[in-house]
Amino acid sequence: MTVRPSPVRIHDLHKPELPDFVLDLFASAEQQPVHLTVDAVQSAAEQLSGLSAYEDPEYLERMGVLLAAMESDSDLSPFGRHNNFNILVRYAAQRSQLEELYRKHPEIDQIDIKQPIIIAGLPRSGTTHLLNLISVDTRLRSLPYWESIEPFPTNAMPGRLDPDDPRISQCREQLAAQDTIMPLFKNMHDMSPEHIHEEIELMGLDFSMMLFENYAILPGWRDYFTSHDQTPHYRFLKRCLKALQWLRGPERWILKSPQHLEQLPQLLSVFPDASFVLTHRDPVSVTASLLTMLSYSARLSRNPVRPGAIAEYWVDRVERMLKACVDGVDCLPEERTSQILFHEFMADDVATVGRIYERAGHPMTPQIETSMRAYMQHNPRGKYGQIEYDLKHDFGLESAQLYKRYRFYTERFGVRLEHRQ
């Protein structure tokens, strides 16, 4: 019988206790400021890729809005600015490499993305676990973390997965450094190079995605993003998936992102033959978990770390996502849509996948079921010790007030509540 580690309480959310080498990194970043401008990002991307930077008026406009929003975040630290700059440079460089790949191989555009299975749900609602569990099924194409960081390497050509791909070892080194700086992050979100990640990273190459809001507090970007139709950017996502499928199959994708929850009509428009999986968990539990994870990781990008400010932004953001979900869900084809309640999923993970497969027209086999149960055995919930969350103490929030804000959603989907009211 496996004994689970004891629960863990994070005591330094407000005043992070950091090792000396991290403080040295912070001091170095302060001495070498970066300029969050379109020209600076484009120039650095050209140096990184060795290609002319991709330029399009709308693309550059979006990048400019995003950079201006980051400049407006007064709590973004010099180290946070460096991190964000490097992320944006990577996205811009990868966009140039994607376009170069299409220039050399225009036949990629003829590839079909057929009947993807798309998972949408709030962060911390079981979407990552469900994605990784389903990805045990090698008949489906998924996106490991190492590949999401650098999906289109220089001179990319079709071939089988190379276990010695340098992108894997580079990713492993980066995650090892992260574990040293934030040892409790894996308790909330365990990562490895092989961990299956969100394809939403690909939309970063088009500079239009919700994930940017994880990098800073960005009301300006949020308002710009939500006021623009994201259908063209989901078409861009399909363009990326075609290239990745050309590089190595198989041909049916399993996709996932919290962003999809507020983009259901757009998803259906771009992927009309998709099957959809919506995960539903008590949004108060989700909020407690999400705020804790964001506040803990903010030690690398914010000074000071103000969990209250993070909470103010993300409670509102969660509510917006849920309203968009309620407004958009009826557009989905019922016969190809699975509504997954968190408590039922946790009661029998593999059986839940079986029900999803039925609606998706994807047969479960004894071999796949055995592989999934083996995955469950090696990756139990709370593997490293579950984090204890405290909305009142850490964020000054009352669960009863949050339940009032989120009631329209919990009643719409019959979500089981996990907190006392």
Per-residue pLDDT reduced to its tens digit, 341-387: 999 999 999 999 999 999 999 999 999 999 999 999 998 887 888 99
In the structure, what pLDDT confidence band is assigned to residue 1 with cuts at 50, 70 and 90?
A: very low
Tokens found for residue 415: 């979500």
Gap between the Cα atoms of 382 and 7, Å rounded: 8
Distance from C-alpha of 270 to C-alpha of 263, rounded to nearest angstrom: 11
Asked if CATH classification 3.40.50.300 holds for the domain at 8-155+165-413, the reply, yes or no, is yes
What residues contact 78, with CB distance under 8 A and at least 6 apart? 26, 29, 30, 33
| 228: nearest Cα among 113, 59, 39, 34 | 59
pLDDT tens sequence across 33-72: 999 999 999 999 999 999 999 999 999 999 999 999 999 9
> Would you kindly state where each structural domain of the chain is located, as residue ranges?
8-155+165-413
DSSP state of 213: G
Single pTM value for the model: 0.96
Take residue 220 and report the two structure tokens written for it: 């300006």
The reported pLDDT for the residue numbered 379 is 87
Contacts of 43-51 with C-beta under 8 Å, sequence gap 24+, read 44/85, 44/89, 44/92, 45/89, 45/92, 45/93, 45/95, 45/96, 46/93, 46/96, 48/89, 48/90, 48/93, 49/93, 49/94, 49/96, 49/97, 49/154, 50/154, 51/93, 51/96, 51/97, 51/100
Q: Which residue has the tokens 């302060």?
A: 30
